Amino acid sequence: MQQIASPYTLPNGSVLKNRIAKSAMSENIGTFSNAPTQTLINVYSVWAKGDPGLLITGNVMIDSRALGEPKNVVVEDYTHFDLLKQWAKTVEGTGVHLWPQLNHPGRQAFASINKEIVAPSAVPLKMGGASGMFKTATPLTEEAIWDIVKRFGNAARILKEAGFTGCQIHGAHGYLVSQFLSPISNTRKDKWGGVLENRARFVLEVYREIRKQVGADYPIGIKINSADFQRGGFTEEESMEVVQILSKEGIDLIEISGGTYEKPAMVKGNRKQSTLEREAYFLDYIEKARSITNKPLLLTGGFRSVQVMEDALAGGKLDIVGLARPFCLYPNLAKDIFDGRVARFEAPVPTIGIKLLDKMGGVELPWYELQIQRLGKGKQPKPKLPGIWAFIFTLKGMFIKSFIKN
């Protein structure tokens, strides 16, 4: 365990105490006015005591008019600043880094909880029977694009002032940054669309705005798709080019993932058995990325055994190991690994037998949200929780938020 327990220094000089990161997961346990709840704050205290090097929060939205889920935390001003400070203090004295993941859903925003949905272009989501939950987005104007860019920087600055130690741009999984990068969802003919240089302009401007507002000594990371896994979409080769662009700009940490709502490669229930057995889902990509950037690489997705994690680090393929769902069932995971108490950990895939929902993570994602809630309420994880409870939890949240919106 020489590699996984060793510290790592980011380009800006910030030091991660070890090579384990809790990657972002959907949490959806803010208030319906989109403030952090005590339950959310408590769960980060639990995870911080587990001793990882880095905790990355779930989606923190930058605009209250654009929600991915009913109870996302939103940071657009100082309204909930005291609660944000409490959240940041959960890692105080532990040496653990805590970074918010900043996001805008773009067209991947449920119609029931958003009055207006915006995106690069008016391209509807194609999700079979689930398409009715979304509506075709209104294309963003030039003015609106710059407003969103400013909002990313504004949110990052406020969170830095609250005490968070870095931030991550969510540029993966088909959300707004990812939508600008993909030629499927971005059909614009202006400077924000067309060739990759134009499609990458949005993420570049977002990074630059955040950097301007937080300063050179504050770590900024990004989560980016290795590919969309859709014909005609954002390709692996294009992803490599964006990695190079951001590396030249000075990004501090690059996390690799993949997929969108339409092609949810990031959802475990949507994976082939051979992929699951290999554990590290995007390892082939990150090996190629290693050859084109000297920036730190974080790989999330599929790691379930300490030996595979250690081998990946020892081979120099990546610098930080990202774990997400295992933290819901093993809240002291990092400490347990370092102490030799765990060599392998599992993360089940709950289902309810409705093929479409099971495939797109409609049960899987809220099931883990419920486990996070349990931790935040001082309870133990419940690995045998029936999947139907997660589905009911989702429907209830959508109904209440829709009622509030209307």
What's the pLDDT score for residue 181?
Answer: 97
| Burial status of residue 48 (CB atoms within 10 A of its CB: 0-12, 13-18, 19 or more) | buried
Q: Dihedral sign, CA of 204, 163, 323, 20? A: positive
What's the pLDDT score for residue 263?
Answer: 66
**pLDDT above 80: residue 127:** no
**pLDDT above 70: residue 342:** yes
Q: CA-CA distance, 52 to 261, in Å (whole number)?
A: 29
Average pLDDT estimate for 286-309: 92
* Least confident piece of the model among 116-120, 158-162, 268-272, 342-346: 268-272
When pLDDT is cut at 50, 70 and 90, the band that residue 268 belongs to is: very low
What's the pLDDT score for residue 131?
Answer: 64
How far out from the chain centre does Cα 354 lie? 26
**pLDDT above 80: residue 279:** no
Mean pLDDT for all residues in the chain: 89
CB 25 within 8 A of CB 370: no
**pLDDT above 70: residue 272:** no
* Least confident piece of the model among 15-29, 289-303, 319-333, 362-376: 362-376
What's the pLDDT score for residue 260?
Answer: 74
In the chain, helix, strand, coil percent, each to 5? 40, 15, 45
Q: CA-CA distance, 204 to 183, in Å (whole number)?
A: 17
Q: Is the pTM of this model over 0.85?
A: yes
Instruction: Of 375, 402, 401, 306, give the one whose Cα is nearest residue 20.
Output: 306
When pLDDT is cut at 50, 70 and 90, the band that residue 404 belongs to is: low
Residue 376: helix, strand or coil by DSSP? Answer: helix
Average pLDDT estimate for 257-273: 59
What's the pLDDT score for residue 361?
Answer: 54
What's the pLDDT score for residue 129?
Answer: 57
Give every CB contact of residue 51 below 8 A, 6+ residues apart in sequence: 17, 18, 94, 96, 332, 334, 335, 338
When pLDDT is cut at 50, 70 and 90, the band that residue 349 belongs to is: confident
pLDDT digits (tens, 9 = 90+) for 133-145: 889 999 999 999 9
Give every CB contact of residue 176 below 8 A, 6+ residues apart in sequence: 66, 103, 104, 105, 106, 119, 120, 148, 202
**pLDDT above 50: residue 79:** yes
Residue 148: helix, strand or coil by DSSP? Answer: helix
When pLDDT is cut at 50, 70 and 90, the band that residue 257 belongs to is: confident
CB 387 within 8 A of CB 402: no
Domains of the chain: 8-405 (3.20.20.70)
When pLDDT is cut at 50, 70 and 90, the band that residue 224 belongs to is: very high
CB 18 within 8 A of CB 298: no
What's the pLDDT score for residue 123?
Answer: 95
Average pLDDT estimate for 339-357: 79
End-to-end CA, the chain: 54
When pLDDT is cut at 50, 70 and 90, the band that residue 273 belongs to is: very low
What's the pLDDT score for residue 24?
Answer: 96
Here the tokens at position 276 are: 């699951």
When pLDDT is cut at 50, 70 and 90, the band that residue 258 belongs to is: confident
When pLDDT is cut at 50, 70 and 90, the band that residue 278 belongs to is: very low
What's the pLDDT score for residue 269?
Answer: 46
Average pLDDT estimate for 152-166: 98
**pLDDT above 90: residue 74:** yes
Instruction: Of 368, 289, 363, 294, give the one whose Cα is nearest residue 325.
Output: 368
The owner of tokens 């959508």 is 398
What's the pLDDT score for residue 275?
Answer: 44
Residue type, 113: I
